[in-house]
Structure 1
Amino acid sequence: MKPIGKVLCATGIIAGLLAFFWKDAFNPESLSGARVLLTGASAGIGEQMAYHYAKFGAEIVLTARREAVLQKVVEKCLTLGAKKIFYIPADMSSPSEPEKVVQFAVQKLGGLDYLVLNHIGVTHFQMWAGDVEYTRWLMQVNFFSYVALATAALPTLEKNKGSLVVVSSLTGKIPTPFTTSYSATKFALDGFFSSLRHELIMQNRNVSVTLCILGLIDTDTALENTRCVFGGGCRSLGGIVSAGTCLFLKACKKCTTVFKMVCASVRMCKKTNGKSASAWVHHGGCACTP
């Protein structure tokens, strides 16, 4: 066996042992009345996370571009048990929208305990064709709006010892073909928010930062993109519901980094305080049809 194979094998064994012995407690009562602002909440992982917060009695503000779809998510959240819920349509390609959204949430909820950044701009898997304007637009939606939202929310999050949750991608860790512009936005997220976490710790500012690293999840966009690139798409993408559940639980525990990867052999979660870690093996992989 090659050295890298031995390392991966050993990592998998260690991950499995940690998963078996690790008891990662989750306190549902911590979310009762928690004030949450969640972006990209009209579909996919954002929608699933909204339902989880609602089930545990959180007070929620949802935002996305499509108002009609947001209204349906709000209605379901109410049936699931949300104590309060509001929504505000917003287009994050506009530089003025992020601050307005945070102001709306703080006004409606009286402050924030969680800011969950999950929205993305429309992305297509394709070779780089030199479209600089599209890349600028995508950077605004996928990166600059995240920075603006976090900056506007930091004072209230710090006051309430809150949590900042950033949903990112494996393409922000490992360069991959067909994702040049998208990957650039995700690398930017990783660099900014990982550095911000260190700065907050250095300043003794009590705000946790959780960076969620996703593999390929079976959202409508991902399925369409893989069909365009690979012809038949992928047979074993990660499920939206399971991904939403994983990120929700780990974010509530104030983890530093959450890995939810379909094409990797190991998932990991490292605690913010750096004193404990858990990891577990993912059974399966990514298989593309010809």
Structure 2
Amino acid sequence: MGYKMKGSCLVAFVAIIVYLYSDTFDPESLVNARVLVTGASAGIGEEIAYHYARAGANLVLTARRENVLITVRNKCLKLGAKTVSMVVADMGSSEDRNGVVEKAIADMGGLDYLVLNHIGYTPFQMWDGDVNHTRWLMEVNFLSYIHLATKALPYLAKSRGSVIVLSSLTGKIATPYTTSYGASKFALDGFFSSLRHELGMKGIPVSITLCILGLIDTQSAMEKVKDKISMPAYPAHDAALAVVSAGASRIEEMYYPWYVRPLCFFREWFPQSRAWVMQRSYQYKPEETVASL
């Protein structure tokens, strides 16, 4: 009888989880949507732009590389985007960031989705003591997200819009080789999860979707992890679709690929075993040890 009861509880638990995280995404809901996508020149950001374009959205795309951004803009128009504008900006510069949201509002007349996707380059290596790099990375990966979201919130409140924040499994579970990067992603989780509570308490109808991604097969990611990590990479095209879908469905947290959610769920269980498994999932060469440490 006890086993039956436990089995029933497990089934009920799974049913609740499925209900809470069920995807109600309707691509037609994005027709004429006004979307600002950062880091749109390559990787997941580029694929996100293409998914919105196929749905018939209006887009403002931003990145540092103008020539690559032009190529993405042209493809978005071919795929069916209603309008596509560009803003060339360095997210490490507060002066550059200041004009991004204003450009989006001027070109689209409002904003429905703010997709924060850009990241600063950081090597996939053990901590080398470079505090200045960490300070710069926090500016790009964390503070710029706050800056843009703060500027966009009044417009998103008018449209009952959404902030979509691209994060990582490394922002939920500490992993080797990602000290500075992981710190910036943990910071995003803390800030935007807290902000979500505050918006709810104030009755401001803006949703915040935190996207927790595992290893994705972007060119930059594959170059970094080569010979250092033993796990499969998943398609950027599919990851981008999961991001767009979660944002449109106003889901609080999205996990991609399949293994990310259970890892996050069980992260506090068996910490010693977790550390053992984690450390053996990465390839480590003794010569990588920093002499100063």
Check whether TM > 0.5: yes
Letter in 2 for 1:238: Y
- The equivalent of 1:127 in structure 2 is 126
Task: Please say if 1:239 is aligned against 2:235.
Answer: yes
* Partner deviation per Cα, 1:127-167 (whole Å, 9 max, x = no partner): 11110100010000000000000000000000111001000
CA distance in 2: counterparts of 1:235 and 1:174, whole angstroms: 16
Structure 1 residue identity aligned to 2:246: K
Q: Deviations over 1:165-216 (max 9, x none)?
A: 0000111111111111001100110000000000000000010000000111
Seen in structure 2, the aligned counterparts of structure 1 residues 23 and 200 have a Cα distance that, compared at 3 Å, is closer
Q: Tell me what 2:251 maps to.
A: 255
> What are the equivalent positions in structure 2 for 1:146-225 lying under 5 Å apart?
146-225=145-224
Q: How does 1:1-290 map onto structure 2 within 5 Å?
A: 24-227=23-226, 230=228, 234=230, 236-261=232-257, 263-264=259-260, 266=262
Q: CA deviation at 1:15?
A: 5.0
The TM-score normalised by the length of structure 2 is 0.82
Q: Kindly state the Cα deviation for residue 219 of structure 1 after the two structures are TM-superposed.
A: 1.1
Between structures 1 and 2, the one with greater helix share:
2
Task: Indicate the percent of aligned positions where both proteins have the same amino acid.
Answer: 52
Cα 1:13–1:247, aligned 2, differ >3 Å: closer, same or farther?
farther
> Counterpart amino acid of 2:62?
T
Find the aligned partners of 1:63 and 1:108 in 2 and give their Cα distance.
13
State TM-score, norm by structure 1: 0.83
Cα shift at 1:90: 0.6
Equivalents in 1 of 2:22, 2:176: separation in Å? Answer: 38
Is the strand fraction higher in 1 or 2? Answer: 1
In the aligned structure 2, how far is the partner of 1:69 from the partner of 1:204?
A: 40
Secondary structure in structure 1 of the residue aligned to 2:225: helix
Q: Which protein shows a greater Rg?
A: 2
Give the structure 1 partner of residue 275 of structure 2. none
What is the rounded CA distance, in whole Å, between the counterparts of 1:260 and 1:241 in structure 2? 12
Secondary structure of 2:226 counterpart? helix
The residue type paired with residue 47 of structure 1 is E
Take 2:249 and 2:243, find their aligned partners in 1: how far apart are those partners? 10
Residue-by-residue CA offset, 1:205-234 (whole Å, 9 max, x unaligned): 010000000111111121111115x2xx54
**Contact in 2 for aligned 1:259/1:267 (Cα 8 Å):** no
Which consecutive unaligned segments of at least 5 residues does structure 1 have? 1-6, 269-285
- How far is 1:18 from its partner? 6.1
Partner letter of residue 212 of structure 1?
C
Tell whether the 8 Å contact from 1:31 to 1:57 is kept in structure 2 after alignment: yes
Return 5+ residue gaps in structure 2 as ranges. Answer: 1-5, 265-279, 285-293
**What is the aligned-residue RMSD (CA, Å)?**
2.7
